[in-house]
Structure 1
Amino acid sequence: MPSIGLMTLDEQSEYAFHLHIAKRAVENGLDVYRFLPEAIDERKKVITGWRFFKEEKTWLSDRFSYPNFIYDRCFYRNEDEQKQFESKVKSLQHNPNTLFLTYDLPDKWTFYEIMKHNELIKPYLPDTSYAKNAKQLLKEAKEKGKILLKPAFGFAGRGIFVIEHKKDEFVVKTVKGKNTLEKSSDGKNVGRWLQALIDKRSYIVQPFLNLSDDSNRPFDLRLLLQKDGQGNWNVRGKVLRFGKGKGIISNLHAGGEPVPYDKWRERFPASKIAFIENEIHELTSTIPPLLETIFRPLVELGIDLGIDQNGAVWLLEVSGKPGRNVYFKLDRNVYASLCEAPVQYVTDVLHTANGNKEGET
């Protein structure tokens, strides 16, 4: 029987999401497994993890061969953690009878360096540079007034800093949990602190874009794109995420709230929303095939867009492993549909493959 494996770094991570997938998958005639990358035995080509049983509606310990399809939901906190399991994951990726549905895209700096050469995408990219030293950061903050410092490797808005130059001092803001922390000092002290920060990990620098609404709440537009069994990309999810007033990020982890796209668009004149939606269409039509040409085939993508107060659209981030929590908070039916899409894709692929085999006999 065809099988799908759900790979995760933590046994409890996205448990409800994986359970939803498992129930749908067994209904479609698939064996479903769940496992941690550390449990991959490269030599024997087997994995120790859990199998979902339809009758019991639960996961039970099992040892199994490499699944036919892998839905990779590992969110690595840094490069070291990713490298820790690199050999085991590649063993799966290189297995001729295994197809990965999702992949990690390159870090933010590498991604920018690649995408800036595409003439269609380049206008949507904020100017980006690699953080080399504190002197560079303080210089850019002085010239631009305010800059954004982002970890090159990371997700969920963690580790982002805003550096602002005010008269004879620098103000640094960041988010811890749901709170915005702020401290200010002279260039010497802030420079020393920044140097220690970028010595520990890689960062990129961008201008601070005014991506806030009239109430000074930061927001972004999150799009979820999924591929159907015929290989066509579709925008399946579209939602706004609003952060706290005067905050610096809109992520739900930092206390943000979701707003339905259709509700948000009602506030704009037809001409402005037509321009924004044309820009969205341009990006969603261009990005998926471009990424698949440069990297490898994908099944779903998350695209985060910023919209400034002039209506200009900015490409903030693209993820090969998009989340779904924001949709769960808005519409359970939409959430269920988005959860089931990977299973439907696998089912369609198997159906097409079986049809081709029958045609050859």
Structure 2
Amino acid sequence: MKKQYRIDISDHLEKGTIYFPAELSKHHAPTRVSFGTFATQAKCYPHPDGKNTLVLSPDIAETIKVPSLDIPFHLFIADKTIHIGPLIGVFTSGFTPFAMRPIGERSIFFSKLLSVKKFVGALPFVFGEQHINWEEGTIEGLIYHKNGWQSIILPFPNVIYDRLPNRRSEKKAALRKVKDRLQSEYLIPWYNPGFFNKLDVFERLESVGAVSSLLPETHPFTSFSMIERMLSLYGHVYVKPMNGSLGLGIYQVLYDRDQNHYYCRFRDTDGINRLRKFETLESLMKHTFPNNKLNHLIVQQGIHLLRHERCPVDFRVHTNKDENGRWKVSAVAAKVAGPGSVTTHVKSGGCIKTIEEVIENKEEQKKLLQKLSEASLLLSHVLENHMEGIVGEIGFDLGVDREGKVWLFEANSKPGRSIFKHPDMKEFDLLTRKLSLAFGVFLSEQAIKKPGEVFK
């Protein structure tokens, strides 16, 4: 980990003065100090007592809006400027007027995310479109400090972590305008933008030889004959929305050769898992997708998955970029389907297990973990190079068939966090939160020292 420094604001310092850490004085003679997008000239001296602390006069702290929070920061020096921070803006929507739950039900997630600031040496804050003062160049950001929410005025951040909750909010013109303006006018790197489109991901990956073998056959719905062909090959297929999430709207279509019947397994609007029989595929599709709602569907090869207690199992693997900008596997969990369920999602009756709980043999556990990790890291590198924007985290839904082959079902740019409800996943919950902000620290340093690499 890169070194972090204590920041003090002292009334004993002469106006317009800072003391900077003694160990930095050998190579640097700064004349300015900055925090986020605010900067000012300063009389800069190595700390007279030889301490590795940054001390600011109150007027400097007020000018660049450094709050007194007793948290450590990184210091990046470039072009004779000491950059304090970084400031990481977490952009979202869905704010409420309630002080205890300012972002509604997601307030708990955000409080946990922001609580890792001391580990990563940064100040993360949550904000939305309505918190920006474009004339002043400030944001009324929400921070989580000492077990409570506080609202403070801050400069525009060094980087922005996109945590918009859904595709609907992402498509809003006002929010897109904010994103475009902060990136184009202020050159603020924006990471994890956008939700992945399932078909788009598959089409981009299938042209890459290194990962194409991980992809089940997947097509946009075009005809009943295409599904018939896939059913004859695989026995069952999945029909799902191109832009779905949380396992909603997924149907399993099965063909029974002996009885010459078609079956459809799905979860109805009351949350009940259903299995229905049909004489023909056409009647199944017309009953299941009335009003010709077929043009936003994809059809995917069914895989005969590993099973635990006779129920199908797939795996959620989280990957994150770390403080050095390198991909690493940050969490792996098994998801076991509920009885009669079409997916392994918890809301469909599925449950979260550790790999140790579903695979008893230690050697088999190790082999499986290695397979899943290798596939996820390879996919992360390929996706990063084939998707727009700066990708810093991905959640993969991977299947393993009875022969031990790994398959990619979905890649999520904003992965859900239901696996972390398992008591044995707490440390991985913390790790993923640390890494999502540690990557923001890395990106900030890159933007300060090597902006050409970030904005190429």
Identify the TM-score tier after normalising by the shorter chain: 0.7 to 0.9
Q: Deviations over 1:202-242 (max 9, x none)?
A: 11111221124153212211111111221221111111111
Matches of 1:92 and 1:133 in 2, distance apart? 44
Matches of 1:317 and 1:92 in 2, distance apart? 30
Question: Residue in 2 aligned with 1:70?
Answer: 160
1:93 deviates by 4.2
Secondary structure at 2:440's aligned position in 1? helix
Matches of 2:431 and 2:376 in 1, distance apart? 20
1:99 to 189, 193, 196: 189
Matches of 1:92 and 1:230 in 2, distance apart? 24
Tell me if structure 2 keeps the 8 A contact 1:105–1:111: no
Secondary structure at 2:408's aligned position in 1? strand
Aligned partner of 2:88: which letter? I
Secondary structure at 1:249's aligned position in 2? coil
Aligned partner of 1:302: which letter? G
Matches of 1:228 and 1:238 in 2, distance apart? 17
Alignment of 1:215-226 (within 5 A): 215-226=309-320
Matches of 1:46 and 1:182 in 2, distance apart? 57
1:234 to 328, 331, 356: 328
Tell me if structure 2 keeps the 8 A contact 1:127–1:207: yes
Alignment of 1:274-293 (within 5 A): 276-293=368-385
Question: Residue in 2 aligned with 1:5?
Answer: 89
Tell me if structure 2 keeps the 8 A contact 1:20–1:340: no
1:84 to 172, 197, 220: 172
Question: Residue in 2 aligned with 1:307?
Answer: 400
Tell me if structure 2 keeps the 8 A contact 1:133–1:198: no
Q: 1:136 to 1:293 in 2, by over 3 A?
A: closer
Matches of 1:54 and 1:195 in 2, distance apart? 49
In structure 2, stretches of 5+ residues that fail to align are 1-34, 37-86, 95-102, 452-456
Q: 1:232 to 1:169 in 2, by over 3 A?
A: same
Aligned partner of 1:71: which letter? Y
Sequence identity of aligned pairs in percent? 18
Aligned partner of 1:251: which letter? H
Matches of 1:232 and 1:202 in 2, distance apart? 35
Q: 1:54 to 1:41 in 2, by over 3 A?
A: closer
Aligned partner of 1:54: which letter? H
Aligned partner of 1:290: which letter? V
Alignment of 1:11-50 (within 5 A): 11-25=103-117, 30-36=122-128, 39=130, 50=141
Q: 1:328 to 1:212 in 2, by over 3 A?
A: same
Matches of 2:442 and 2:275 in 1, distance apart? 51
1:152 to 242, 246, 267: 242
Matches of 1:196 and 1:43 in 2, distance apart? 48
Aligned partner of 2:240: which letter? K
Tell me if structure 2 keeps the 8 A contact 1:222–1:238: yes
Q: Deviations over 1:17-37 (max 9, x none)?
A: 211222333786644432345
1:352 deviates by 7.0
1:116 deviates by 0.7
Aligned partner of 1:150: which letter? K
Matches of 1:198 and 1:84 in 2, distance apart? 27
- Aligned CA RMSD, in angstroms, stands at 3.4
Question: Residue in 1 aligned with 2:439?
Answer: 345
Secondary structure at 1:158's aligned position in 2? coil
Matches of 2:208 and 2:417 in 1, distance apart? 29
Matches of 2:304 and 2:141 in 1, distance apart? 46
Is it true that 1:118 corresponds to 2:212 in the alignment? no
Matches of 2:443 and 2:170 in 1, distance apart? 29
Q: Deviations over 1:287-315 (max 9, x none)?
A: 22222222243222212210112212111
- Could you say which structure has the larger radius of gyration? 2
Tell me if structure 2 keeps the 8 A contact 1:34–1:49: no
Matches of 1:354 and 1:63 in 2, distance apart? 22
Q: 1:112 to 1:27 in 2, by over 3 A?
A: closer
Is it true that 1:57 corresponds to 2:57 in the alignment? no
Aligned partner of 2:166: which letter? Y
Q: Deviations over 1:55-110 (max 9, x none)?
A: 672144x7766433222122425xx6543344443334445432223133541111
Matches of 1:197 and 1:141 in 2, distance apart? 24
Secondary structure at 2:194's aligned position in 1? coil
Question: Residue in 2 aligned with 1:171?
Answer: 263
Aligned partner of 2:347: which letter? H
Q: 1:132 to 1:95 in 2, by over 3 A?
A: farther
Select between 8-17 and 20-29 the one with higher mean Cα deviation: 20-29
Tell me if structure 1 keeps the 8 A contact 2:329–2:373: no
Aligned partner of 1:224: which letter? H
- With normalisation by structure 1, the TM-score equals 0.82
Aligned residues: 351
1:138 deviates by 5.1
Question: Residue in 2 aligned with 1:252?
Answer: 346
Matches of 2:136 and 2:356 in 1, distance apart? 48
Matches of 2:330 and 2:131 in 1, distance apart? 33
1:146 deviates by 1.9
Secondary structure at 1:120's aligned position in 2? helix
Select between 278-287 and 108-117 the one with higher mean Cα deviation: 278-287
Matches of 1:229 and 1:203 in 2, distance apart? 38
Matches of 1:340 and 1:56 in 2, distance apart? 18
Tell me if structure 2 keeps the 8 A contact 1:220–1:307: yes
- With normalisation by structure 2, the TM-score equals 0.66
